[in-house]
Amino acid sequence: MIMDSTISGLYQDTDNNSELRLDVDGYYPLMVASGKFNVNMATSIHWIADLTKTGSLSWEGGINYQNPVTVNFPFTRVNITVDSCKSISNPRVVVVFSGLEQSDITHVYHFTSPHFHTVEFEYDIAEGTEAVTSIETHAHPDRPATLANETLTIEKVYERAGFEVKVSPGTGSVISITGAASPGERFRDRSLWDDAEMHDAMQTFWSRFENQAQWSMWVFFAKLHEEGESLGGIMFDDIGPNHRQGTAMFNDSFIAQAPIGDGNAEAWVRRMRFWTAVHEMGHAFNLAHAWQKNIPNFGSSWVPLENSYDYLSFMNYPFLYETGNFSDGNTVNFFRRFEYRFSDDELRFMRHAPESFVQMGNANWFDNHGFENANVSPIPSLQLEIRVNRPQAIFEFLEPVSLELKLKNVSSQPQIVDSHILDDLDEMIIIIKKDKQSARQFIPYARHCWRSHNQVLRPGESIYKSLFISAGNNGWDLAEPGYYTLQMALEKGEEYILSNALRIRITPPKNYDEEFLAQDYFCEDVARILNFKGSLFLSKGNDILREISAQLSDRRVAIHAEVALETPMMRHFKQLVVPEGASNLQQAKISTHDPDVKQVKEKLSKALLDNKTTAAETLGNINFKASLDRLSDFLADMGEKHEAVKVQEDLLKTLSERGVKKRVLEACQAKKEKYQQ
């Protein structure tokens, strides 16, 4: 008998090349079986069954999930028995598939692994910080009384979730930052990172170590993001092939700020850094936040799930626990009950969902339902508007599309909102539908872990955000000429704020040159460069944008190309450099390149200021101001304050003509006067 041995894990039928995942004991058993059943040489079915124990080594249950649903799978039940005559080290499982109008079929599966999947992690750190990959579970007194006293590692967390975790041999490298700052540079602490630099580092890592295993993840610990202490981490989806992921943690962000009066501040900080790492890595396994698992009448989950702030899971925010509102008290209550695990729903997905299953972009239901039945307040206090800053929502062929998001308090009372409500794309659902085609859900390239911070919107006040929406992890969503409908839902508490449905048009190519260049332009490298506002790694994409700028200088896409090409030239842009022949990051370094004042003045100033009205219209008011603010700050720091003043004067004049808010104009005036001091 093998009763005393864990029998959960992966089994294979070598005769049929099929698989079984049995989940009945070990850590957090779900009483579930799943597998791959080969119908014929070209077709296989992924099935899942919930089990009931029928004997000491036997279970049975109904099959309640299959993928794809379009293939006829005649079996409705499984009967599973462990062959007790086999050895502990090599158990054998007999599975009988049965159906109402189908003869039973028996498959014999041999034990392959106690884990359901295999994943590889690598942890590396920027000089001046540390990788927090383990904690002492009893180091802080806020914990369950039943929590085991142990050294808990990230690897253990994911092993208990069902994974064989391999740690890359090169893990633990400390990567130094080299290069001196310019004498006049005041605005760029080289320990700070922005999205473009971090994205380049992820691209470099995965291109350099392209032969590493599938289901690999690089976890990079840095000090702080340029956004400041409110950003705790970023997860980049699908860096290169083979489901590779890149995650960055910012150790000196809000997760390093223990509440005043906490008697174990050091343990509190380490615990939050550990939680952040596991949380961000959880997103790489396609796990949603605990309160975003299912949106009523907004498409369907892979299996029915419940949204809740009550989950005691790594995928819930401790500071939102139970209430959905930020509170240090929520964090205390969360960790007093948290057992450092994922919820059963999340474990079911991680262990038993099809390996190739991806939720992103599955929005065909929108054609018939859209947002009609979403839980919307009959008397909304907030109004969400998506718009473009131009008389008509018409875009030239190749011209990138950015939306301006506006959230306005339309009630007579002050409203409390999260200050990052329009920054956190995890809280949004954006649908793009081209006429006569199925709808697609916009999926961004990166996800950010923001600290919740409330702000008050007085009656009539608004907050704004610009969003690049032409492309994301689904590829180019807005490329082909034609008419599109865009709509957005924003989660606030248990309700959804729906935007207007915005109709836009992309015009046909103007000539053969545009058609020809489009063949190269609509690629992933160009999309990523435009999204992250620059890259020094994606050289092919940069070459395409240079050609676009040269060949189509009279078209609006040329302005976007120059902004993306020249933005990295305005700072000491950090790059991960891995020597040829290196097997890991032990010899790697982070180098910085010098800004190029001459090039920026020649290229970017010309693109933004030669035709200011066109530049403001194609970039949008928010991006236009941000681009010119960066330019003027750069010029001032390089000692060219007269030029910086002129940039702000041009910006002030252009935005005034476009009727922007008075407070925006006052900010321009204040920046101009600061340069003149």
Write the pLDDT tens digit of every residue in 182-194: 444 444 566 788 8
* Residue 565: pLDDT over 80: yes
Contact present, 232 and 274 (Cβ < 8 Å): no
Summary mean pLDDT of the chain: 85
Handedness of CA 600, 602, 605, 611 (dihedral sign): negative
Q: Name the CATH topology of 9-113.
A: Lipocalin (2.40.128)
Least confident range from 93-102, 146-155, 502-511, 613-622: namely 93-102
Tokens 């590779």 found at: 244
Look at residue 239 in the predicted model and tell me its pLDDT.
60
Report d(CA 579, CA 77) in Å as an integer.
55
Look at residue 212 in the predicted model and tell me its pLDDT.
58
* Residue 304: pLDDT over 50: yes
Around Cβ 363, how many Cβ atoms within 10 Å?
21
426 or 30, which is more confident? 30
Please write the tens of the pLDDT for every residue from 609-641.
Answer: 999 999 999 999 999 999 999 999 999 999 999
Look at residue 359 in the predicted model and tell me its pLDDT.
31
Give Cα 139 distance to the centre of its chain. 31
Look at residue 470 in the predicted model and tell me its pLDDT.
97
Look at residue 500 in the predicted model and tell me its pLDDT.
92
pLDDT band at 372, cuts 50/70/90? very low
Name the 3-class secondary structure at 132: coil
pLDDT band at 369, cuts 50/70/90? very low
pLDDT band at 549, cuts 50/70/90? very high
Look at residue 328 in the predicted model and tell me its pLDDT.
85
* Amino acid (one-letter) located at 598: K
* Residue 351: pLDDT over 80: yes
Look at residue 108 in the predicted model and tell me its pLDDT.
93
- The pTM of this model reads 0.76
Percent residues over pLDDT 70 in the chain: 87
Look at residue 176 in the predicted model and tell me its pLDDT.
77
* Mean pLDDT value across residues 409-417: 91
Look at residue 298 in the predicted model and tell me its pLDDT.
43
Domain boundaries of the chain, sorted by first residue: 9-113, 117-352, 611-677
* Amino acid (one-letter) located at 46: H
* Residue 364: pLDDT over 70: no
Look at residue 300 in the predicted model and tell me its pLDDT.
45
Look at residue 373 in the predicted model and tell me its pLDDT.
45
User: Diameter of the chain by CA atoms?
Assistant: 88
Per CATH, domain 117-352 is 3.30.1600:
no
Preceding amide of 259 cis, omega within 30:
no
Least confident range from 405-414, 431-440, 463-472, 521-530: namely 431-440
Please write the tens of the pLDDT for every residue from 5-28.
Answer: 689 999 998 776 789 999 999 999
Look at residue 218 in the predicted model and tell me its pLDDT.
85
Around Cβ 72, how many Cβ atoms within 10 Å?
9
pLDDT band at 347, cuts 50/70/90? very high
pLDDT band at 308, cuts 50/70/90? confident
Look at residue 498 in the predicted model and tell me its pLDDT.
87
* Residue 84: pLDDT over 70: no
Q: What are phi and psi of 366, to 5 degrees?
A: -60, -30
Contact present, 152 and 296 (Cβ < 8 Å): no
Report d(CA 72, CA 86) in Å as an integer.
34
* Of 371, 468, 383, residue with least CA distance to 417: 383
- E runs forming strands in 43-173: 44-50, 52-55, 58-67, 77-83, 92-99, 102-113, 117-126, 134-136, 151-153, 163-167
